[in-house]
Chains A and B, each alone.
Chain A
Amino acid sequence: MNAEYIVEMKGICKSFGGIQALRSVDLELKRGEIMGLVGDNGAGKSTLMKILSGAYLADEGEIYISGQKARIHNPQDAFNLGIGMIYQDLALFNNLDVARNIFIGRELVRGPFNLLMDKKRMYKRAEDVIRELRVDIKSPKMNVARMSGGQRQMVACARAIAFQSKVLIMDEPTAALGVTEANKLLGLIRNLKDMGLSILLITQRLPDILAIADRVFVMKGGQRQDILEVSKITLDDVVTMIVKGKDRNENQAHEIEYKSFG
């Protein structure tokens, strides 16, 4: 396995009943890079990432993390390997505060048999994470239900990176955000890259990808089409790849009108 890559997925197949969602997909993520995953609805982007995060089990294929073969059977396995995921619906708990949302499943414990929560340390650590991320959340005791979409996204990020994650997967993080909040989030993603994380970003907002990603991974029909270097492509190149796939003719997709949502 190539030491340059922090994540390698090889020959990943997944079907749901009679529907083949992924057909022998290979993906390589370099250390410290932001890779955008793009493709039309049903291309298999979220399914591929859910396999990496342990939410789904692949039917076939192998995953390597930092060159070592990894067995990811559930989200806990992914967490132990340093993989954090922010789901499209954020998977937050509206009945809990910020600190509890960050630490659910990874509580700081004390006392006999580690049965008791160390609330003091948890709230302190939550404060530290909020400060590191430089996000607009006043207190770790704020209830998540009262937060805006942008703040909730920040809490989901904080949860994903609070435990020395190496890889962060973000599924449509800007989908429900307004322009200002989306820009704040993109700034946060750049900060996370500066902090040393490698990031996989699923999004339909192609201008976002071109703004912050290093490479773009294009999927169509459950298959990998290509990986493009962002510095060498235009928006039209990406759109053409998404719509026509790798076996396209050399013509640009001038007849396809692309509307930017960003």
Chain B
Amino acid sequence: MDLNRRTLAVREKMSQIDLSGLRKYTVIIVLLALMLIFSMVSPYFLTWRNLTNIFIQNTYFIIVAIGLSFVMIGGGIDLSVGYQMSLVGVVTAMAMMVYHLPVWLAALIGLLLGIILGLINGLIVTSIKIFPLIATLATATVFQGLSYIISKANTFRGYPEEFLFLTKGKIFGIPFDIILTIVIALVVSFFYTETVFGFRLLALGGNEEATRLAGINTRRMKIAIYTICGFFTAIATMVMISKANTTNSSFGPGTEFIALTAAIVGGVSFMGGEGSIPSLIAGVLLLAVLGNGMQLAGWGTYAQFIVRGMILLGAVAFDEYQRNAKSKIKIKG
């Protein structure tokens, strides 16, 4: 009998342990596990050159995912980011290559355009009050059309050296885009954890009506988060086109899927109210490691689509499971 009572007591104690906090480390653990697996599959995987390449090639995905996290943590979604990149990319490129504007001015125009596109999304979502998924799907199509019309389906290549410094330049031996990505990650992480706006963003995603009843202007907040997303998407676009040293309207679309998957895998809840930058970056790198590892293992590009889709399904299912599990954990009052 004593053993049964002890067993019951231990079980009760264990049921009271909140494992939800460990969730933010799950993605890091999975990332390390994948790296271990692929290091056994291919001798080229765990080399310094390969690992740094993985990071360098994914800096703009990280920046887009960070921008998208503002919207997702706030309870929304933006499926137009890839198409914003298409439009911002061709406009920035044309400003430099067709209109021969100084690089700084072309970049400023690109950033402003990104902000405006984000603002448009925010205004549509809050004014017409349709699901953000539908609203941003619609704007994605509009942005894509504008991109093709403005660029006349042309390709622009061979940017000035000052622009290429974004990805080719180095400071103390570290590629500039890596420094930029790390600075953005640190600033946004601080923003989420220490600022009033960051705190209210969590609340907005957790319970929008309660946030409104707490006296917070939720409409203004939602417009702000879409605008911020547009701003970071524009920065990511500069990095993307600088890296490729070319662009046309097909550059960008598809990024939204990778950024969305990475964000969810990285612990940004699909329903809002949850997310952290370190886990989000781990989510991007997890997908990147998966792609790189599969390629080194000879699995081919098309198999990666299947795997990414399954990962997205699994991540959303796990997110939903976590939510249901949390609501079942109660302490007797």
Q: Which residues of A pack against B, CB within 8 Å?
A: 53-55, 74-76, 79, 85, 87, 91-96, 100, 104-107, 109, 114-117, 119, 136, 143, 145-151, 181
C-alpha gap A81/B36 in the complex (Å)? 60
Nearest A residue (CB) for B197? A115
Report 15 cross-chain contacts, Cβ distance below 8 Å, ordered by A residue: A75-B212, A91-B210, A93-B207, A93-B273, A94-B206, A94-B326, A100-B202, A115-B195, A115-B196, A117-B195, A117-B199, A146-B18, A147-B331, A148-B332, A151-B331
C-alpha gap A85/B213 in the complex (Å)? 9
- Which 9 pairs show the lowest CB-CB distances between chains A and B? A148-B333, A105-B214, A76-B215, A91-B210, A95-B273, A95-B206, A150-B333, A93-B206, A151-B333
Report B-chain residues with C-beta under 8 Å of the C-beta of A79: 215
Q: Which residues of B pack against A, CB within 8 Å?
A: 18, 20, 194-197, 199-200, 202-203, 205-207, 209-216, 273-274, 326-327, 329-333
- Cβ distance A207 to chain B, nearest Cβ, rounded Å: 22
Please determine whether B330 and A148 come into contact, CB atoms closer than 8 angstroms. Answer: yes
C-alpha gap A116/B196 in the complex (Å)? 6
Given contacts A107-B199, A117-B199, contact A145 B215 (CB under 8 A): no
A149's partner among B273, B274, B333 (CB-CB below 8 A) is: B333
Please determine whether B211 and A104 come into contact, CB atoms closer than 8 angstroms. Answer: yes
Report B-chain residues with C-beta under 8 Å of the C-beta of A106: 214-215
C-alpha gap A93/B213 in the complex (Å)? 12
Given contacts A92-B207, A146-B326, contact A107 B196 (CB under 8 A): yes
Report A-chain residues with C-beta under 8 Å of the C-beta of B211: 93, 104-105
B202's partner among A95, A109, A148 (CB-CB below 8 A) is: A95
- Cβ distance A199 to chain B, nearest Cβ, rounded Å: 19
Besides A114-B196, A148-B332, 8 other A-B contacts (C-beta < 8 A): A87-B213, A92-B210, A94-B207, A95-B206, A107-B199, A116-B195, A143-B18, A147-B330
Please determine whether A96 and B333 come into contact, CB atoms closer than 8 angstroms. Answer: no
Please determine whether A75 and B210 come into contact, CB atoms closer than 8 angstroms. Answer: no
- Cβ distance B276 to chain A, nearest Cβ, rounded Å: 12
Report A-chain residues with C-beta under 8 Å of the C-beta of B329: 145-146
Report A-chain residues with C-beta under 8 Å of the C-beta of B18: 143, 146
Nearest A residue (CB) for B273? A95
Given contacts A96-B203, A146-B330, contact A117 B194 (CB under 8 A): yes
- Cβ distance A79 to chain B, nearest Cβ, rounded Å: 6
Most buried by A among B18, B212, B215, B331: B215
Report B-chain residues with C-beta under 8 Å of the C-beta of A116: 194-196
C-alpha gap A53/B18 in the complex (Å)? 35
Given contacts A75-B214, A146-B331, contact A93 B194 (CB under 8 A): no
- Cβ distance B18 to chain A, nearest Cβ, rounded Å: 6
Please determine whether B333 and A181 come into contact, CB atoms closer than 8 angstroms. Answer: yes
Given contacts A94-B326, A117-B196, contact A105 B215 (CB under 8 A): yes
- Cβ distance A125 to chain B, nearest Cβ, rounded Å: 15
- Cβ distance B14 to chain A, nearest Cβ, rounded Å: 14
Nearest B residue (CB) for A184? B333
C-alpha gap A196/B274 in the complex (Å)? 38
C-alpha gap A132/B42 in the complex (Å)? 63
Report A-chain residues with C-beta under 8 Å of the C-beta of B194: 116-117, 119
C-alpha gap A54/B215 in the complex (Å)? 9
